[in-house]
Amino acid sequence: MQSSLEGIKILDLSRTLAGPFCTMLLGDMGADVIKVERPGKGDESRRFTPPTWNGESCYYLTSNRNKRSITVDLKSPEGREIIYKLVQDADILVENYRTGTLDKLGFGYETLNELNPRLVYCSISGFGRTGPEKNRAGYDLILQGFGGLMSITGDADRAPAKAGMSIVDLTTGMFAVYGILSALFATQKTGKGQFVDVSLLDGQIALLNHMATGFMATGKPAGRMGSAHPSIVPYQSFATKDMDIILAVANDGLWEKCCRALDWKDLLDDSRFTKNDNRVAHRTELVAIISERLITLESTEVFEKLDGVGVPCGPIHTIDQILNHPQVEAREMMIDIEHPNVKDLKVPGFPVKLSETPSNVRRHPPLLGEHTDEVLGELGYSLTQIDELKRGKVI
């Protein structure tokens, strides 16, 4: 089957995670992604270790499949000419340099738009390309703190905690895909490209969602509640005799089913807990009662009874448990990739299932500069010219 972005060419000037994750997703959908890296060094994530897999950074391996790697010195006149030639035939450019850096090098949006008016130029940054913080460097951890996420993550009596994964980088990469595809769709109608400004901060503010609106309504910022929910009870983790589980009783109907399934008729009849508003008001008492009762039960017993009546519940899996779960296998979410240095490479797959234009893996995460000769040959460079560029350390 043909992939949805087959025939689309992407010039990827991004490094580390948000940008590479974005371009990998686009590559999974069929785009030809040319990853431009520094000669001799490459993407910083190649050196983000441990862990490694046969000497290759797992961090890099996870977000760079379906790309071709070329090495180019962007500061050299010859390197600048290579980028200009690539831009003329590209549909999309993605970059995540600090504000103003690419303008100084001659690769700003205005310059490249003159070369290719149809170019969709996506700029990913920590704080956006406008505003008082536009020159500030941004990393996932910085934005988890700056953007408010850490203030609502963790237990109330503990220090603020970061999310276990690089959630700001990854979601920013996803927002970038959304913006790029929207711009590409517009280009097909108007014939004009545009500048797509995506920032870690903006994405984080969007993800605050009801927490942000709740503050605007009440003037009270949300705080840390562990796994609990500010508006629903019971909706959090509880300990059973053998493991911690999640109980998600999201409405009064489910509360009734939960109580009947677990033989908690006394709670169902207790006026303090009849409606969700009452349960929220008496959260401390109810959570204590439920905790005392669930700790005497095996998790399997709880799951069997609640699953049987449709009350949402589930285990808290470790990484090894979920990656080997039959549902993850059925959804083909861990995929095999042939790699020259890593035997049996497995990485998370594309998370969207398309019936007519499915994603596919065509290329392993490239070795540094693996496709430089190939790409320059496509641009019309002769073998002699390529050798001269190598001797001059341009590539």
Q: How many CA atoms lie within 13 A of 91 on its CB side?
A: 22
321 burial via Cβ count (<10 Å: 0-12, 13-18, 19+):
exposed
Q: Which of 32, 43, 140, 169 is catalytic?
A: 169
Strand-pairing partners, residue 197, are: 123
Sequence-separated (6 or more) residues with CB below 8 Å from residue 387: none
Helix (H, G, I), strand (E, B) or coil at 190: helix
CB 32 within 8 A of CB 24: no
Helix (H, G, I), strand (E, B) or coil at 203: helix
Sequence-separated (6 or more) residues with CB below 8 Å from residue 71: 36, 37, 38, 39, 40, 42, 368, 369, 372, 395
CB 347 within 8 A of CB 65: yes
Is 91 a catalytic site residue? no
Give one DSSP letter per residue of 26-41, joined into a string.
HHHTT-EEEEEE-TTT
Q: What is the dihedral of CA 258, 259, 260, 263, to 10 degrees?
A: 120
The pair of structure tokens assigned to 27 is: 């590559």
Nearest partner of 272 among 289, 257, 258, judged by Cα: 289
Nearest partner of 57 among 71, 44, 68, 46, judged by Cα: 46
Q: Which amino acid, one-letter code, is at 102?
A: L
Q: Which residues are catalytic?
A: 169
